[in-house]
Structure 1
Amino acid sequence: MMQRVMSLFSLRNVTFVTGAILFFALMEYFFSGAGGQRYLAVRLLPLAVIVQILYLYQGRYLYPRLPVAVNHAAVVLYIGICLWAMYYLTVNFEDIAIWRQAAYNTQDFITGLLILLVVMELSRIIHPVLFYVNVVLVFYALYGNYSPIDFFWHPAVSLERLVTSSSVEFSTGIYGRYTQLSLTLIAAFLLLAAAASGFGAQRALVEVMRRIAGRSRHTIPQTAVLASVSVGMVSGSGSANTAVTGSFTIPLMKRYGVPGTFAGAVETAASMGGLIMPPLMAVAGFLMAEFLGVPYWDVVVRGFGVAFVYFVSLILAVYLLSVRLLPNTPVQVEQVPLYNWLRTAIFFSGIIFLILLMSVFGYGAMRAALYTSGVILVTLLFAWLYFKYVLKDEALKEETLWGNLRLAIETHAEMAAYLTVLMATLGIMVGLFTVTGFITRMGSLLIQLGEFHIIATILMAWVFGWLVGTGLPPTATYIIVAVIIVPPLRQLGIDPWVAHFFAFLLAIWGELSPPTSLTAAVAAKIANASFMKTMWEALKICLPITVMSFAIFVRSDMVVNPGWGQITDVLLVAAGTAGITYAVFGQFFEHKGANGGIRAVIAALSFIVIFHPDDMVAAAAAVVVVPMLLVGVKRHGRLAAVSEEESERIRERLEAEDRAANEGRA
């Protein structure tokens, strides 16, 4: 009996109970709004930090090189600090937020410093690049008056001002707008992923997409595209998307003869598209709505156009490469159980319901997400009960209602805690950028470049975004670019929607940009392929992201004016990016010189379609490009086709190169 009681206090159960408290506290706020967003952040950020610590501790010790006792003591200490901060700041919230502004007492300072240090330490474990950037910014804030370079010089910030601005001021730092957003609107949308995960809808999605992809080896890689766009709708992470869908799609592609490098690159590119796809849009969509002060639906309706352009080109690129690598032989498709079809239909019906609530019925994003997640959860629950107890489905024999509901709560708590810690870390970074005046100086530099030429400013902004994106996740990259780059672009007369979507596409591209890409690393690991080769192949496939980053400055209706103007520009950009994709991967003629010439012509016409400022000229070029594409795709299917033997030789050669690269890396 005692053993059973003690088993209830396992680390997993303690983590679940803590996560459930966070889940139900958020649900209570969603339906009542009690206290407001700032008070919610003060109450729940420490709890989210505790949940994140416990989830990390389930998988491994926080400090593997230190003794077990030290690890246990550290976890107890961190949790104790979080509980104290939650109690002290909640009890004294009104005094700190109103009466003691700019005159904080010693206890306020110590409490703020302690919770700030815990968040910083947790970011060191989860987001080391962000941590080291923040450490550099801390030293820069404290000792910027010693800088020998005028551009970086600023009056030093006192330690007290640095700590309070990052903690107990509540409007910036770890309790600021980013943390508040993660615990409100973003957490509400994460309920969609939690409901889908709890009753296995995500697994069902992948199986159904595999069935829809067709019976030819040429269409096998399209499984990754369809699965990633489906899961990406409710996933805010490219690497998480790759881990979920790639664990199935990459082995499937390799089983049918797809080389590991190509399989990993396709999954990487597809996961990048999942980050663009509404309604979640890598979490950056919520931040964009916050920055612009618009309803979230205004961002979503523009996001669909961007996603359409990307996936048109992605599907074409994957097909062209598949023809070069795989024979067009039929494959046997496994039958998908009716229950998986039903779960998939429920999931997509829920997404359609969400869109209708926000667009037709005018519901706010949070209410729409709450109602939709409730509908999905209840519908999946009834479907599960029917298939388990009425139809006696053998596949559900081991599942329990409590187990599924627990998985849904755990999924939401883990995702919400992770994003809250990420947003708190970003709040520290943006706060340090602000107090040092770096944002103002960088903006002045870009405006001076704009006086020379607006294109110089755009190129400088792109380079800056690329450098930021090499080590940071998309959400972090978007926030930094939006805070530092967007204001000067707007001062130079660029439409706010264009500036923010430029930042958004830069952030997505930054997830893939060399020399680092976590998504490509995960895909390469699953595929047992060379990371660098996987990343470079994915970069070529993801070329539309790069093109679109600049196309929106010319075809601005694509993101500025929803309606017929948007549809026209979306179709033009889609035609242009598809043409460029064909120019990179397609084969129009058997003769090498003639083939190179026609591809160059298609590329030149495609650039006219995308970048020519005269809509009539762009449309005329599109009228030429689209028929050439249709004919070219058909000719490519005939001229670039490979036999079974040729495909096997290509696969063996590429896998030998991957083995050599992996051995060299080892």
Structure 2
Amino acid sequence: MLALKNLVTLRNLTLLFSIALIVALLDYFLTGSGGPRYLAVRLVPLALIIQILVFYQNDYFYPRLPALFNHAAVVAYIGICLYAMWYFTTNYEDIAIWRQAAYTRHDFIVGLLMFLLVMELSRMIHPVLFWVNFVLIFYTIWGYLSPIDFFWHPGVSFYRVVTSSTVEFSTGVYGRYSQLALTLIAAFLLLAAAASGFGAQKALVNVMRRIAGRSRHTVPQTAVLASTTVGMVSGSGAANTAVTGSFTIPLMMRYGVPPTFAGAVETAASMGGLIMPPLMAVAGFLMAEFLSVPYWEVVIRGFSVAFVYFASLILAVYLLSVRMLPTTPITPPDVPLYDWVRTAIFFSGIAFLILLMGSFGYGAMRAALWTAAMIFTLLVLTWIAFKYLLKDPLLAEESIFGNLRITIETHAEMTSYLTLLMATLGIMIGLFTVTGFITRMGSLLLAIGDFHIVATVIMAFIFGWLVGTGLPPTATYIIVAVIIVPPLRTLGVDPWVAHFFAFLLAIWGELSPPTSLTAAVAAKIANASFMRTMWEALKICMPITIMSFAIFVRSDMVVNPGMPQIIDTALVAIGTCAVTFAVFGRIFADNRTNFAVVIGMAILGGVTLFHPSDAVAMVAAAIVLPMIVIGAMRHKKLAPRKDPLSDEVVDEQQDQKAT
């Protein structure tokens, strides 16, 4: 009886639903049975059940209310999901085909229950999105009361709000965003789940620490390399920071990096992880969906954007490291062979994925499935070899079932989290559409475009920044892509440029003041000031801001893969590096001379980035590139070994100790 009681736990119940989810998904990946809409109808409720159980393992839904009430609420929520899954699955054809615009009372009630459940879960897990949707519901119903003509609309019934968000299946909870989360995104998350289940992510960090070598100046680059690799299979800057930052931030601080700088470097590196293919903060899948192109077309352009960002980031981190850290050598850590093998498996998997999509023409979902299978198989075989043949003591406490469990739970948790996020966004975009807000906002941007397209771009950037202050990158990208991209395309902007502008805006929104969850996580780990960490990270992440506008001029970077793309990518990289050196570098000992030269480098970088003539841009790049190289070498000799913030940090720590 006691053994049975020990088995009946929330975690075990979550595992059962997680197994059901991954089995259903694998069946769909292999057969495509029923199509994505039918898949969403079946599995969105299952994903919500997993989110309910994962959340409830950590805390009560309603801590101020009795435990019995919380238990009853969980049972009721799971019951709603199971009933909706059964009802909508068994009546799928009738609702989707024969009862369109004439739904029964039963249809409406089940749809209403799912609508209210998604709203309540978003209130607990995505509170900002909940309040946006809450206000939108009032606006949708009573828009005719608006005193501002721009926001006025005749109003929509609550019945229409519910049906458009649920039983219509093409929008809202079961719409294209939830379908994407359960198909293409879920397939790519298999890579992250396999890596997490067998500790490949931790192995990556250890290997990057070893690669950093004996120089203190290369220690902060560990964060850059680690976040780049983990970011390849992570769709969240905050999650990336939590995984890699827990290792890299203490490591940097141990070797003399000030806490604020350590947090800022990890924040900037995690932002780069969001740009890095193949996941690209999940926005890459959405971009392919919006543009109706194979996902590989997005990835091959995403590599250019990532290259520019990391070229500038590595330079900025190097310049700051030289300025802040002494030259005394350090002893690099020993890395077990098992970590080297796991790291090699991970990178071989990424190479295999690129090969399948780029050379053999596999679809993104099928390529992700076979790559995940390859990584998982190799990790299992490696684990067996090291545990039973080589008797590696590091694996003494591990079991194959424990690692498999972590793999399944990781995939289910990430997939269910994104499914809830997408369902919430589906409601939001549906309400935007029903009220006509998207059309009116587009008309406003077009009217501004009549004055000058630059004004439209600036207005779009401000709008994206405001949206990004409270929403995750995926949500920001969807809203910006739906509202801003169509007017930009009408004004003649290439669709690739418009969507990558929206993508970079979404990434920048994750960092932008006054809120940045990624910077908050990094500051917490570093025990540093959140605002100071965010400000330093903003300066280091300057390439994101610059690229957001440079792609309008150097558009071949994201429009024409091949030699034109390579040329424009090189020009943008040189331009951003020139601006980065102007901000952080020193080339002359005399302050006035140094100021004049770095300002000149910044101007040449601006010409490289924004001059409409390719010939002029290439001349400017040819001049400023050797200046960057020479400047980096002179900076190492001239830069003071002092962090301008470190004295203040020390003073704060001493004050805290005194208190």
* Interval containing the TM-score (normalised by the shorter chain): over 0.9
Q: In structure 2, do the counterparts of structure 1 residues 662 and 84 end up closer, same or farther at CA, with 3 Å as the change threshold?
A: farther
- Displacement, 1:155? 0.9
Q: Which amino acid aligns with 1:489?
A: L
Tell me which residue corresponds to 1:547.
546
Q: How does 1:76-115 map to 2 (within 5 A)?
A: 76-115=75-114
Distance 1:506 1:661 in 2: 38
CA distance in structure 1 between the aligned counterparts of 2:400 and 2:75, rounded to whole angstroms: 33
Contact preservation (8 Å) 2:212, 2:332: no
Structure 2 partner of 1:651: 646
| C-alpha separation in 1, matches of 2:578 and 2:248 | 27
Matches within 5 A, 1:618-629: 618-629=617-628
Counterpart contact for 1:529–1:658, Cα < 8 Å: no
**Residues 293-333 of structure 1: CA deviation (Å, up to 9, x unaligned):** 00000000000000000000000000111111111111111
Contact 1:243–1:522 (8 Å) recurs in 2: yes
Partner of 1:339: 338
C-alpha displacement at 1:215, in angstroms? 1.1
- CA, structure 1 residues 306+659, in 2 after alignment: closer, same or farther (shift >3 Å)? farther
* Structure 1 unmatched runs, 5+: none
Deviation at 1:595, TM superposition (A): 1.1
Task: Report the counterpart of residue 13 of structure 1 in structure 2.
Answer: 12
Runs of 5+ consecutive residues of structure 2 not aligned to the other structure: none
Distance in structure 2 (CA, Å) of the matches to 1:655 and 1:94: 67
Partner of 2:167: 168
> 1:593 Cα deviation (Å)?
1.2
Q: Distance in 1 between matches of 2:156 and 2:313?
A: 48
Alignment CA distance shift 1:46-1:621 (3 Å): same
Aligned twin of 2:286: 287
Deviations 1:238-262 (A, max 9, x none): 0000000000000011111111100
CA spacing shift, 1:387–1:423, aligned 2, 3 Å: same
Residue type of the alignment partner of 1:630: V
- Hey, what does 1:614 align to over in structure 2? 613
Which residue matches 1:246? 245
The whole-number CA distance in structure 2 between the counterparts of 1:652 and 1:90 is 64
| Alignment partners' CA distance in 2, 1:661 and 1:348 | 44
Q: Which residue of 2 aligns with 1:604?
A: 603
Which residue pairs with 1:499 in the alignment?
Answer: 498
Q: CA–CA distance in 2 between the matches of 1:93 and 1:663?
A: 68
Map 1:417-496; keep pairs closer than 5 Å. Answer: 417-496=416-495
Q: Distance in 1 between matches of 2:646 and 2:158?
A: 59
Structure 1 residues 158 and 272 mapped into 2: Cα distance closer, same or farther (>3 Å)? Answer: same
The reply on whether 1:631 has 2:626 as its aligned counterpart is no
Residue 587 (structure 1) aligns with: 586
What's the CA shift for 1:659? Answer: 8.1
| Structure 2: distance between partners of 1:480 and 1:599 | 38
Q: Look up the SS of the partner of 2:551 in the other structure.
A: helix
Structure 1 residue 10: Cα displacement: 0.9
Residues 169-207 of structure 1 deviation map (CA, whole Å, 9 limit, x = unaligned): 000001000000000000000000011111111110000
For residue 60 of structure 1, what is the aligned residue in structure 2?
Answer: 59
Write the distance in 1 (CA, Å) between the matches of 2:651 and 2:74.
45
1:348-367 alignment, distance < 5 Å: 348-367=347-366
The amino acid that maps onto 1:653 is E
Query: Structure 2 vs 1, CA of residues 558 and 631 (structure 1 numbering), >3 Å: closer, same or farther?
Result: same
Aligned partner of 2:200: which letter? A
User: 1:662 Cα shift?
Assistant: 13
SS in 2 for 1:442: helix
SS in 2 for 1:221: helix
User: After superposition, what is the alpha-carbon deviation per residue over 1:82-131, rounded to whole angstroms, capped at 9, x for unaligned?
Assistant: 11111111111110000000011111111001011111111111111000
Opposite residue 187 of structure 1, the aligned amino acid is A
Cα distance in 2 for residues equivalent to 1:428 and 1:503: 20
CA contact (8 A) 1:530 1:662 kept: no
3-state SS, counterpart of residue 552 of structure 2: helix
Runs ≥4 in structure 1, deviation > 2 angstroms? 649-664
| Deviation readout 1:380-434 (Å, 9 max, x if unpaired) | 1111100000000000001101011111000000000000000000000000000
Q: How many angstroms apart in 2 are the aligned matches of 1:125 and 1:33? A: 33
Name the CA distance, whole Å, in 2 between partners of 1:600 and 1:658: 36
Of residues 133-142 and 632-641 in structure 1, the stretch that sits farther from structure 2 once superposed is 632-641
1:106 alignment partner AA: R
Alpha-carbon distance change, 12 to 457 in structure 1, aligned in 2, over 3 angstroms: same
Alignment of 1:79-478 (within 5 A): 79-478=78-477
Q: 59-68 or 345-354, which moves further after superposition?
A: 59-68
- Count of matched residue positions in the alignment of Structure 1 and Structure 2: 659
1:27 aligns with 2:26: yes
Q: CA separation in 2, counterparts of 1:190 and 1:510?
A: 23
Instruction: Tell me the amino acid that sits aligned with residue 651 of structure 2.
Output: A
How much has 1:535 moved relative to structure 2? 0.3
Identity %: 71
Contact 1:325/1:650 (<8 A) preserved: no
- Contact 1:228/1:245 (<8 A) preserved: yes
Give the whole-Å Cα distance in 2 for the aligned partners of 1:498 and 1:112.
Answer: 38
Inter-CA distance 393–66: structure 2 relative to 1 (3 Å threshold): same
Cα separation, 2, equivalents of 1:553 and 1:460: 15
Q: In structure 2, what is the Cα distance between the partners aligned to 1:15 and 1:652?
A: 49
Aligned equivalents of 2:174 and 2:518: distance in 1? 29
In 1, distance between residues paired with 2:602 and 2:330? 34
Question: What is the alpha-carbon root mean square deviation over aligned residues?
Answer: 1.4
Quick check: 1:640 aligned with 2:639? yes
Instruction: Read off the aligned partner of 1:460 and give its amino acid letter.
Output: M
Instruction: Give, as a single letter, the amino acid of the residue that structure 1 aligns with 2:23.
Output: F
- Distance, in Å, in 2 between the alignment partners of 1:28 and 1:507 is 33
Q: Is the contact made by 1:575 and 1:626 (CA closer than 8 Å) also made in structure 2?
A: yes
CA-CA distance at 1:652 after TM superposition: 4.5
Amino acid aligned to 1:656 = D
AA at the equivalent of 1:144: G
Helix, strand or coil at the partner of 1:417: helix
CA contact (8 A) 1:529 1:662 kept: no
Q: Distance in 1 between matches of 2:656 and 2:105?
A: 56
The alpha carbon displacement at 1:653 in A equals 2.8
CA distance in 2, matches of 1:39, 1:659: 61
Counterpart Cα distance in 2 of 1:654 and 1:631: 32
Question: What amino acid is aligned across from residue 649 of structure 2 in structure 1?
Answer: L
Q: Counterpart of 1:218 in 2: which secondary structure?
A: helix
Cα distance in 2 between the residues matched to 1:651 and 1:333: 25
Q: Give how far 1:591 is off.
A: 1.3
Contact in 1 for aligned 2:259/2:527 (Cα 8 Å)? yes
AA matched with 1:536: W
The code of the aligned residue for 2:310 comes to: F
Query: How does the TM-score come out when normalised to structure 2?
Result: 0.99
Whole-Å Cα distance in 1 between the matches of residues 115 and 222 of structure 2? 44
Distance 2:454 2:185 in 1: 34
**Distance across 1 between alignment mates of 2:459 and 2:560:** 26
Q: Distance in 1 between matches of 2:517 and 2:362?
A: 36
* Alpha-carbon distance, 1:656 to partner: 3.2
